[in-house]
Amino acid sequence: MGGDPSAGIIEKKVLIQASPAVIFRALTQAKDVAQWFCDRVTSDPRVGGELKAYWRMGGGGEARRGRAIFTSLIADAQVELNWVDEGEGEGQEAGRHTICYTIRLKRGTSEVTVRDAGPPFADEESSEILNQGWISVLRDLKEHCEAKQRSARRYSVGGGQSD
């Protein structure tokens, strides 16, 4: 695991066979975010804009929501979000996590680094749960972006326009 879990920091890297532009869109555009991260989302990708995410939980119709503020956007290179509401109810500590995705070309592919900085973990189990969650999130991001890239290539090769 990368980062410093005792300080509340987790850092992960993943190689994605997709262009930085495809990855940037996947991290900022509601239509894309909803395909790999949550069930429903609204996104205003500008510094100070909000990303609101909604997840259905189990079969009982329960839902969870989260709200983040975009704090840094560098086209095709970086997306930083400050999660101000993680769906845990009013009165919870605001700004609990700052999540920064950095995208860079590396040997013909894109390397995405995610850094999640929040409060120190209560225990090792909490740290491991978040660590495993990031592994799953990055796998879903990778699958989504690589499928979008393949689709864009097929459409482009077939005579249409690419995204």
Does residue 161 have a pLDDT over 60?
Answer: no
The residue extents of the domains of the chain are 5-157
Between 88 and 49, the higher pLDDT residue:
49
CATH code of domain 5-157: 3.30.530.20
Of the candidates 50, 53, 117, 45, the residue with the CA atom closest to the CA atom of residue 79: 45
- pTM for this prediction: 0.84
72 neighbors 102 (Cβ within 8 angstroms)? no
Distances, alpha carbon 49 to alpha carbons 40, 44, 45, 101, 113, in Å: 17, 5, 6, 16, 22
The pLDDT tens digits for 61-120 are: 778 889 999 999 999 999 999 998 765 544 444 447 899 999 999 988 999 999 999 888
Does residue 3 have a pLDDT over 70?
Answer: no
